[in-house]
Structure 1
Amino acid sequence: MTAMETRIVAGISVPHSRLVERAIEHAHHAYEPYLFNHVMRSWLFAVKLAELQNVAHDAEVLAVGTLLHDITLNDRFAGPRRFEVEAADLARDFATDAGLDGRRAQLIWDSVALNSTPSIGLYKEAEVGLCTTGICFDVVGLKYSFIPSSDVRAIVAEFPRLGMKRKMTSCFCHIAKTQPETTYDNFVRDFGERFVPGYTVPSSVDLVAAAPFDE
């Protein structure tokens, strides 16, 4: 197998292929600036973590999954399914249209669909686990001590956060307010309960109790 060409972005060696460049171009046009910077940082953190931990993986799959994982996270999101699943379908379509086979496209789907469910994503295939870790590194500081601080500073300097905490919270609250039925079993519920007046969703306790069986 021929080694993939690479280039340096914010001090990190990343794959340089037409597929990766197309994903970056698509992300750049689809996202508002703070989210574009978030997915770029997440990708770079994932690549660096893979290097530091010597994790073999499909570099193009990791790139596409990480770069497109928040493609539906905006204040226009209208469901009907949770935003990660809607995004996963779009990312898989992108991969399929680019000629990727079913297995690689499915890995991208899993990476996107599970990006905010680390209790599952971290234990999936290497590409899914790395995508999850890179995203969680940027959002909540997962494995923050693993990457040298100089590398973290270089990545953030190249792709500034641009008020991400506040802007991402606003997006999550929009979803909790307008599509609460997509949030009852995922982390967006936390934002609804904390910030959205009148937010209410079904409890798993009630769902079990109301199941249409005698016992």
Structure 2
Amino acid sequence: MGKVTMWIILPRAARCRRAVYAGVGEPTERLEQAYADEVREDEDEGDGTRREGHAMDVTFGGATGDLAHAYVREILHPAILHHSVRVWLLADHLGRQQDLKGAEREALAVACLFHDSGTAAPHDGAQRFEVEGADAARAFLSEHGWPDDLGQQVWEAVALHTSPGIAERMGTLPRLVRLAVLADFGRTDLLGTEGRTELTEALERFPRLDIEAALADAVVAQALRNPEKAPPSSWPGGLLAAHLADSDRTGGGNPAF
């Protein structure tokens, strides 16, 4: 029987998300505190209403994009979730400069939100995390009735986001996701100057939470369990090789990141 994916929005509880991302490295004390703060922000306000944490004013291009955010919010490590939302904000900023609208813009949101979903336990399959995330994103869109051509563009955007020189030439969505990922890791020269103040303010609402360490640890943890997920010359392969070369390293992050 093939793998069946059920898109269930899980109850918001600390034990739920902790269980989902268990095994990708113990969160630091700062991550634990940030997570606890986020959970408190989601609790009832006493008047029957609920706040949606730091993402309360962020939209994701439409109903499917909002559902994608609700889903990944329940499965991703907090640092990787914040990174994914920042990548969306950055990609949307770049996309607006190209007049990206409608379904293509919403597909971009889904690609950004799912681009690291392969690091989460529900999508920790036999393939590289990029491919697992791409499969998950395409399945999500298919389950919500999206056309195959947009699903394929999203698949390519997610699968190729760690492939320099390739993603940039594979079409609008792969290029925008790749550039947004680069921008979130320091390539702010890619963003231009228009609208930078508003963009910076939006990004600051999603703290980095040691994303470099969290993401590298998640990828390496999967590769240690299944080295085929980190083939040589791939980005996961580089992270795994650096870890194995100095497995007793403490602090400082993975040098291959």
TM-score when normalising by structure 2: 0.65
Verify the 8 A CA contact 1:14 1:47 in the aligned structure 2: no
Within 5 Å, give how 1:1-215 maps onto structure 2. Answer: 16-51=61-96, 53-56=97-100, 58-74=104-120, 78-141=124-187, 143-144=189-190, 146=192, 150-183=197-230, 184-197=232-245
Fraction of identical pairs, as percent: 24
Query: 2:51 — aligned with what?
Result: none
Cα 1:197–1:47 change in 2 (3 A) is: same
Q: State the shift of 1:54 in Å.
A: 2.5
Cα 1:150–1:172 change in 2 (3 A) is: same
- State the Cα deviation string for residues 64-115 of structure 1 (Å, max 9, x = none): 1111111121478753111111111111010001110110111111111111
Which structure 1 segments of 5+ residues have no match?
1-8, 200-215
Q: State the shift of 1:124 in Å.
A: 1.2
Query: 2:15 — aligned with what?
Result: none
- State the Cα deviation string for residues 158-186 of structure 1 (Å, max 9, x = none): 11111111211211322332222222231
Rounded Cα–Cα distance in structure 1 between residues aligned with 2:108 and 2:124: 27
Runs of at least 4 residues off by over 6 Å: none
Verify the 8 A CA contact 2:60 2:69 in the aligned structure 1: no
Rounded Cα–Cα distance in structure 2 between residues aligned with 1:173 and 1:112: 19
Rounded Cα–Cα distance in structure 2 between residues aligned with 1:154 and 1:94: 30
Which structure 2 segments of 5+ residues have no match?
1-53, 248-257
Query: 1:202 — aligned with what?
Result: none
Query: 2:255 — aligned with what?
Result: none
Rounded Cα–Cα distance in structure 2 between residues aligned with 1:21 and 1:75: 21
Verify the 8 A CA contact 1:85 1:112 in the aligned structure 2: yes
Query: For this pair of structures, how many residues does the alignment match?
Result: 189
- State the Cα deviation string for residues 12-57 of structure 1 (Å, max 9, x = none): 9855421111111112112121111111000000011122x42546
CA-based RMSD of the aligned residues comes to 2.7
Higher relative contact order (CA 8 A, sep 6+): 1
TM-score when normalising by structure 1: 0.76
Rounded Cα–Cα distance in structure 2 between residues aligned with 1:131 and 1:101: 20
Rounded Cα–Cα distance in structure 2 between residues aligned with 1:47 and 1:124: 18
Cα 1:123–1:76 change in 2 (3 A) is: same
